[in-house]
Structure 1
Amino acid sequence: MHAYELMVKKYLKSNGVNFKHIVLTASCHSVEDAAKAVNASINDFVKNICMIDQTGRLIIAIVMGKDRASTSRVGKALEIVRPRLAKEMEVLQYTGYPAGGVPSFGFEAIFLVDTYVMDMNEVYTGGGSPNSLVKVKVEDLVKMNGGKTIRVRK
């Protein structure tokens, strides 16, 4: 098991959350790949879109696997200038996890959870590496990240 995956599991256990951690042999970098790997629908997944504001703060827009995040909606929601998407190296620097494996919790950021995500009971999110996933209740996900529920999808 990779060190990043161990960090996710340790964080979840320390928060007393029920979860399922799945390590795959193939990459689940895209939602489509991940859905095939666990025989689920892309509607069972969330994506964590990493953005950086003008002051260098990390913002995570959590949207359903089929959706795209809107930087303009995020800017309006936070009353800031429209943030930019984080570069791959910045994702690792800010979150501590590689792109494609970022969980929806467990690091310092402003978390914004799209309203559609709140309609779900459980979702798959990044498990710490591009080859791992975590299945967790949305209620627990939001409790752990302290996210604000707002429409951030395009």
Structure 2
Amino acid sequence: MAKQSSTDRVLDAARGAGLDIEIVEMPASTRTAEEAAAACGCSIAEIVKSLVYLGAESDTVVLLLVSGVNRVDEAAVGRHLGEALTRPNGRTVRERTGFAIGGVAPLGHIGELRVFIDEDLAQFTTVWAAGGAPNSVFRTTVEDLRAATGGIWLKMTA
């Protein structure tokens, strides 16, 4: 049996969560928030960055879904979670999530993780998120994204 592609995992996870999405493959990279916004024709703030961290003590994967214009205050988020956050290298991200950096989707991960959503995303009706590959994205409502990921609203910036 052929190994399932990362974009197929995202589609399957979305369907399993009752989320009807269409993954769009762009002709250019959508690896950064700026590239994704240009490709999608939206503001950078409407791009959902999927940032992977590890709990420093628990080694739990923590996925932060962040507005494309925001920079995460790692110390503040760590205080909220009760442990410091560390940034894993690319190999660890792939091993723990099933995605390469630049294509990490908000759902369809191969392992367990905790998901938190940037409160600043709540101002938008729809947002664009990575579809599992460095040139794929999908559009969804913020509330559907929250429901599908089980994400908890959290202030990410200072």
Q: Shared fold by TM > 0.5?
A: yes
Scaled by the length of structure 2, what TM-score is found? 0.89
Q: Which residue of 2 aligns with 1:131?
A: 135
CA contact (8 A) 2:61 2:113 kept: yes
Aligned-pair identity in percent equals 26
Q: Which residue of 2 aligns with 1:120?
A: 124
SS at 2:59 equivalent: coil
CA contact (8 A) 2:50 2:66 kept: yes
Counterpart Cα distance in 1 of 2:43 and 2:23: 17
Q: Which moved more, 1:136-145 or 1:125-134?
A: 136-145
Structure 1 residue 106: deviation in Å? 2.8
Counterpart Cα distance in 1 of 2:52 and 2:119: 18
CA contact (8 A) 2:30 2:136 kept: yes
Q: Which residue of 2 aligns with 1:40?
A: 42
Counterpart Cα distance in 1 of 2:133 and 2:51: 15
Q: Tell me which amino acid in the other structure corresponds to 1:147.
A: G
Counterpart Cα distance in 2 of 1:106 and 1:5: 8
SS at 1:116 equivalent: helix
| Match for residue 106 of structure 2 among 104, 123, 132 | 104
Counterpart Cα distance in 2 of 1:46 and 1:153: 15
**Number of aligned residue pairs:** 152
Pair 1:74 & 2:77 matched:
yes
Counterpart Cα distance in 1 of 2:157 and 2:103: 20
Counterpart Cα distance in 2 of 1:148 and 1:15: 16
Counterpart Cα distance in 2 of 1:34 and 1:10: 22
CA contact (8 A) 1:31 1:42 kept: yes
CA contact (8 A) 1:49 1:69 kept: no
SS at 1:49 equivalent: strand
Structure 1 residue 3: deviation in Å? 1.2
Q: Tell me which amino acid in the other structure corresponds to 1:65.
A: G
Unaligned runs of 5+ in 2: none
